[in-house]
Amino acid sequence: MELASDFFHSFLSFILIISVIVFIHEFGHYYVAKLCGVRVEAFSIGFGPEIYGWFDKDKTRWKISAFPLGGYVKMFGDVGEASTPDKKKLEKLSKEERRYAFHLKPLRQKAAIVSAGPAANFILAIVILSIFFLYYGRPETLPVVGDVMAGSAADQAGFKKDDVIVELDGQKIERFEQIQRIVSLNPGLPLDYVIDRNGNLITGSLTPILVETTDIFGNKIVAGRLGITSGKVQHVKMDLATAIVAGFTETYNISVNTLKAVGQMITGQRSADDLSGILRIGKYSGQAAEKGFSTILWFMAVLSINLGLINLFPIPMLDGGHLLYYAVEAARGRPLAEKVQEYGFRFGLVLLITLMVFATFNDLKYFNIF
């Protein structure tokens, strides 16, 4: 009974969180499309059969569909949810109707409309993180070494109490949290460092030791560890301007670190088991809800950034795939052949399904189903 209750709570939390993020993504497409004079036929949260919907004054059908794992905006001239052109319909349009068709708009407007979805996700993350820093403050700890664990990577490198870590992996260090982030992204990989010991700069290299630890939700993860402790964490309150700047900076840092982790999976430096599917994301959603509103905010920001980044990957079927086609069209002076685009979309669909199956398989292993 308790297991069923936990599942329902996680599922409901996931649906609410992902629906907000997907709505913002699709609203980005919708808003810029309207600015460019495109008629929007449907705005759906979810896929599949419609559960509830209504028409607005511009005859756009706003609806909630049965499978709440995404969404779409169907524009005038689209044949379906994937924004592929309806060639027969476009050929029969009157001169007046052609003004409202997405696929007949200038290339720069189509690119702007497609880019607006991921851009909306990054804007949402910046807003959320700015609010977080404004009301809760940013957790900060000076990059000063507290205790050094015997036999640890830091101990072997000669770190001592009160050393100040100036640089790590080529990055300037201002907060201890940066060290944790760098180390977690580079498990088992050598890292160059610069430390300040009583005014003297010391350089060297060390390799974090792989350990099994737990995240803020209590989930077991494998991560790198230097073997040093820091001082007490303090939450530094910020004014509005500083919070907004911090929101931009944190969004950028999360984006860069996420892309780096993906690159490590591709090159084999990081286990692909870290790729999570909807089952684990659902679990994390429930755990975030249990932790409180501040944790929900942070989780939504990270999830929104991930959705924005994923959609920018140059894979047909995703926004990044459409942008890739537009870039090729701009370079060639004419679009790719229809057959080439069709095969590209088929490849993209197969690739996305493969990734979803693989991520789900990882989730099932994580929950000890296998």
| Token pair 């027969």: residue | 88
Q: How far apart are CA 288 and CA 89, in angstroms?
A: 46
Neighbouring C-beta atoms of residue 302, cutoff 10 Å: 19
Instruction: Select from 157, 172, 137 the least CA-distant residue to 202.
Output: 157
Distance CA 192, CA 207 (A): 9
Burial class (CB in 10 A: 0-12, 13-18, 19+), 89: middle
pLDDT in tens, 152-205: 888 888 888 888 889 998 888 888 888 888 887 777 788 899 999 988 898 988
Among 26, 140, 212, 329, which one carries the catalytic annotation?
Answer: 26
Kindly tell me if the per-residue pLDDT of 3 is higher than 60.
no
Residue 272: C-alpha distances to residues 110, 279, 307, 309, 357 (Å)? 34, 16, 18, 18, 13
User: What's 150's DSSP letter?
Assistant: T
Residue of 351, 275, 353 lying closest to 316 (CA atoms): 351
Gap between the Cα atoms of 299 and 289, Å rounded: 9
For residue 61, which of 74, 70, 48, 47 has the smallest C-alpha distance? 74
Q: What is the pLDDT of residue 336?
A: 80
Better-scored residue on pLDDT, 352 or 206: 206
DSSP notation for 166-197: EEETTEE--SHHHHHHHHHHSTT--EEEEEEE
Q: What is the pLDDT of residue 68?
A: 77
Res 245 pLDDT > 80? yes
pLDDT tens for 322-345 read 899 899 989 888 888 878 877 887
Which tens digits make up the pLDDT trace of 254-289? Answer: 898 888 878 877 777 666 666 776 666 666 666 766
pLDDT tens-digit map of 282-317: 666 667 667 777 788 888 998 899 999 999 999 888
Classified as helix, coil or strand, 69 is strand
Which pTM value belongs to this model? Answer: 0.79
The DSSP call for residue 273 is G
Assess whether 140 carries a catalytic annotation.
Answer: no
Amino acid at 94: S
Given a contact cutoff of 8 angstroms between Cβ atoms, the answer to whether 113 and 29 are in contact is yes
Residues 129-157 have pLDDT tens digits of: 999 999 888 777 888 888 888 888 888 88
pLDDT higher than 90, residue 117: yes
**Domains of the chain and any CATH numbers:** 139-236 (2.30.42.10)
Q: 């490590």: which residue's tokens?
A: 264
Residue with tokens 């720069």: 108
The band of 9, judged by pLDDT with boundaries at 50, 70 and 90, is low
* The dihedral sign for the CA sequence 281, 285, 288, 290: negative
Confidence band (pLDDT; 50, 70, 90) for 363? Answer: low
The pLDDT assigned to 86 comes to: 67
Average pLDDT of the residues in 347-370: 73
- Does 360 have pLDDT greater than 80? no
Structural contact between residues 366 and 280, judged by C-beta atoms closer than 8 angstroms: yes
From the CA atom positions of the chain, what is the Rg in Å? Answer: 24
- Return the higher-pLDDT residue of 365 and 108: 108
pLDDT tens per residue, range 17-56: 888 999 999 999 999 999 999 999 899 998 888 899 999 8
- Helix, strand, coil percent content, the chain, rounded in steps of 5: 55, 20, 25
Write the pLDDT tens digit of every residue in 49-97.
889 999 989 889 999 988 877 888 988 877 766 667 767 777 777 778 7
Residue 122, pLDDT above cutoff 70? yes
The pLDDT score that the predictor gives to residue 219 is: 57
The residue that leads in pLDDT, 360 or 168, is 168
